[in-house]
């Protein structure tokens, strides 16, 4: 293990500090497991560090980092799907720690959505990425992203309506 980040890593440390937490947070609603989100984040940063000489010259290395993380999330999901039969014997995926009631409701709704829809929702609504950019990043047609967003919104609509009611009455 090294003592400190070398001086030739110019800017990596500040890039890491600025984006580590937001990236984990963006991945949590997608992979529905904070520990997995952290692992994916670390892997994405590992790849960023490997490419840092090139990335540091980019206007927006954050975009590259998020794209890699999203692809890693898809790869993880594929691996998990392959192991789903074995995992199903042990019940649902790890339940998140100390979730408040709102989070539990939203997480339950998200759990019923396919990963692609959760990903589209997070990228568009949470990260504010335009539909066309999401389509380019994920390598799918714009119409597919729109359909995923629409289905995702429809699935979350009852939960959001409940939340609105709760906030009005309570």
71: number of Cβ within 10 Å: 16
Phi-psi region of 98 (alpha: psi -120 to 50; beta: other; left: phi over 0): left
Those residues whose C-beta lies under 8 Å from the C-beta of residue 137, and which sit 6 or more positions away, are 67, 70, 123, 129
Binding test (CB under 8 A) with other proteins, winner from 91, 92, 128, 170 = 128
Task: Determine if 4 is a binding residue for other proteins (CB under 8 A).
Answer: yes
- Between CA 37 and CA 106 the distance in angstroms is 17
- Name residues contacting other proteins, limited to 35-94 (CB under 8 A): 37-38, 42, 45-46, 49-50
Provide the mask over 138-157, with x wherever binding to other proteins is found by CB under 8 A and - wherever it is not: ---------------x--x-
Do residues 119 and 147 touch, judged by C-beta distance below 8 A? no
Query: To the nearest whole angstrom, how small is the minimum distance from the Cβ of residue 130 to other proteins?
Result: 14
The DSSP 8-state label assigned to residue 123 in this structure reads I
Interface with other proteins by CB under 8 A: which residues?
1-5, 9, 12-13, 16-17, 20-21, 24-26, 28-29, 34, 37-38, 42, 45-46, 49-50, 96-100, 102-103, 106-107, 110, 121-122, 125-126, 128, 153, 156, 160, 163
């Amino acid at each position: 293990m090294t003592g400190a980040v070398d001086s030739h890593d110019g800017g990596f440390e500040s890039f890491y500090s600025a984006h580590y937490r937001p990236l984990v947070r963006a991945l949590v609603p997608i992979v529905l497991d904070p520990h997995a989100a952290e692992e994916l984040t670390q892997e994405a940063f590992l790849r960023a560090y490997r490419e840092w000489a090139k990335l540091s010259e980019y206007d927006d290395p954050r975009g590259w980092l998020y794209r890699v993380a999203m692809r890693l999330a898809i790869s993880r999901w594929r691996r998990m799907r392959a192991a789903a039969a074995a995992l199903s014997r042990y019940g649902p995926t790890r339940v998140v720690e100390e979730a408040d009631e709102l989070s539990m409701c939203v997480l339950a709704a998200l759990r019923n959505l396919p990963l692609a829809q959760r990903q589209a929702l997070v990228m568009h609504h949470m990260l504010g990425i335009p539909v066309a950019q999401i389509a380019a990043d994920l390598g799918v047609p714009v119409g597919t992203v729109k359909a995923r967003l629409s289905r995702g919104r429809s699935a979350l609509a009852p939960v959001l309506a409940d939340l609105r009611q709760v906030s009005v009455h309570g």
